[in-house]
Amino acid sequence: MSLEMKTGKQILLSISILVSGREETTKKCIDSLDSLRKKVSCELLLVDTGCPESMKEWLAQKADRIIPFPWCNDFAAARNAGLLAAKGEWFLFLDDDEWFESTAGLEHFFLSEEHGQYEAVSYLQRNYFDMEGNRWRDIPLTRMVRRREDTRVIYPIHESLWPIYEPVKYLEDYVHHYGYASPDAEEQREKRQRNLSLLLPLIESEPHCLHHYLQAVLEYIAAEDLNAALAAAEDGISHYMPDRADNGNGLYGLYAAVVRLLVQDKQYDKALRRGRELLAQEGISKLAETSICGDLVIACGGQCGQTAGTSNYRRYLGRYLENKSYFEEHKVELLRQQTIILDSCFEEYQYRMILGWGFLSVLSCGNAKEAEGMLGEEPTEWWMETEQNWYTQASVQDREYWRSHFQGMVDRIAQDRAECVYPRITQLYRALTSP
């Protein structure tokens, strides 16, 4: 039991964790809160959704309260059981398969009295793609709020606190999460099927809730079913209702998903047409615009091997890079606009894909000055790795197209004795083609 509970001090923070029997990660989760619980007036609530008897004695030693909850396939209901029992001024929920690397930011938030200035807190969840922890994606989660009478958890799966009042404090504290990194393909397939079995009835019963469509899109993408993912995204867009407050950035995530999926399916013409339509929609967020423009650069590049070179990529690449610079200076605005699909807009892999295909378009148009300027966006070593990766993944037709146009540009530069004017082009070509 925490010191604050024993001494009867006011509880600043209620921490609620769903525990289901995952002993190793549950221990990591609870242990990662030790520093926070020692420094800040906290209570730890463990909502037991089915732990074995062998764990319960240990959990009782760690928790301020254990709340039994018969599992009913509703994560929000389980979260609300913890919320109902909470006594803290603030409420935070966690899963038993995630743990903080450090709670220094949270500690400072409370110890500095900064918590009096905010209504909610967002921290990062580091989702790993492999069990070795070499590849991950950080996503912001607003899982801590000042507890009010109307505070509740909504959505039976992929649940969220609601309502989220402003202002929100964005912290760089993060939790490790390996929940979707299992090398067991069958285990992952079963998890996707479980999630979809919950999501699809929700979509049918709540057809105007874009949250469910977005989550379904994500599950279909993980299952590599692009057609089903695209159908879910378009269906969600068609059911959008502007007066539904909890949709947030969901519509823009679906916009971006449609274009991303068409590009991944190599439907470049359709991606360009649909992308132009969506970019013209009134009120589209800047991050959605950025994501769509990035994917349209890839679509333009994908067309190069099929049709004559086009300069359409310029407007999309220019807007993508301009907006990227904007968000580098406005990090809080970036976090506010993020949601599924949009949260990968500036990932290194996506950024390399956009510039790799963009460079193919530049070569196709034969503009050496533009190519030299584009290569100035990143160091030569970065471009070498990017183009090598792109070249490896491209089709044979695209590779030959790239090679012939690159060589043609370098030959023209040499013929004009303009190597000193375009040193990056010459240097990159030699580095990429040397034995």
Question: In this prediction, what percent of the chain has a pLDDT beyond 90?
Answer: 74
Buried b (16+ CB within 10 A) or exposed e, 96-112: bbbbbeebebbbebbee
Please check the confidence at residue 1 and state whether its pLDDT lies above 80: no
Q: Predicted confidence band at 230 (pLDDT cuts at 50, 70, 90)?
A: very high
Q: Predicted confidence band at 8 (pLDDT cuts at 50, 70, 90)?
A: low
Check residue 2 and give its pLDDT: 45
The contacts of residue 72 (CB under 8 Å, 6+ apart) are 78
44 contacts 88 by C-beta, under 8 angstroms: no
- Residue 28 half-sphere exposure, CB side, CA atoms within 13 Å? 15
* pLDDT per position as a tens digit, 287-315: 999 999 999 999 998 887 555 446 788 99
310 or 357, greater pLDDT: 357
Three-point CA angle 244, 247, 249, nearest 5°: 135
Check residue 389 and give its pLDDT: 85
Check residue 3 and give its pLDDT: 40
- ω into 70 cis (within 30 of 0): no
- ω into 435 cis (within 30 of 0): no
- What does the alpha-carbon distance between residue 25 and residue 2 come to, in Å, rounded to a whole number? 21
Task: DSSP letter for 117, please.
Answer: G
| Number of other residues whose CB lies within 10 A of the CB of residue 206 | 14
pTM of the model: 0.90
The contacts of residue 324 (CB under 8 Å, 6+ apart) are 290, 346, 351
Check residue 187 and give its pLDDT: 79
Looking at this protein, which amino acid is placed at residue 112? S
Please check the confidence at residue 84 and state whether its pLDDT lies above 70: yes
| Number of other residues whose CB lies within 10 A of the CB of residue 397 | 11
Check residue 6 and give its pLDDT: 44
Question: For all residues of the chain together, what is the average pLDDT?
Answer: 92
Q: How far is CA 187 from CA 135, 184, 190, 195, 225, in A?
A: 20, 5, 5, 12, 17
Q: Which of 192, 238, 237, 181 is nearest to 215 (CA)?
A: 192
Mean local confidence (pLDDT), 152-171: 95
SS3 at position 330: coil
Q: Predicted confidence band at 381 (pLDDT cuts at 50, 70, 90)?
A: very high
The contacts of residue 255 (CB under 8 Å, 6+ apart) are 237, 278, 281, 284, 288, 292
The contacts of residue 305 (CB under 8 Å, 6+ apart) are 395, 397, 398, 401
Find tokens 């509740």 and name the residue: 152
The contacts of residue 156 (CB under 8 Å, 6+ apart) are 73, 74, 75, 76, 77, 198, 202
Please check the confidence at residue 26 and state whether its pLDDT lies above 90: yes
Mean local confidence (pLDDT), 397-415: 89
Q: Predicted confidence band at 184 (pLDDT cuts at 50, 70, 90)?
A: confident
- Residue 280 half-sphere exposure, CB side, CA atoms within 13 Å? 6
- What does the alpha-carbon distance between residue 93 and residue 404 come to, in Å, rounded to a whole number? 56
Q: Which of 251, 256, 313 is nearest to 290 (CA)?
A: 256
Check residue 309 and give its pLDDT: 46
Check residue 402 and give its pLDDT: 87
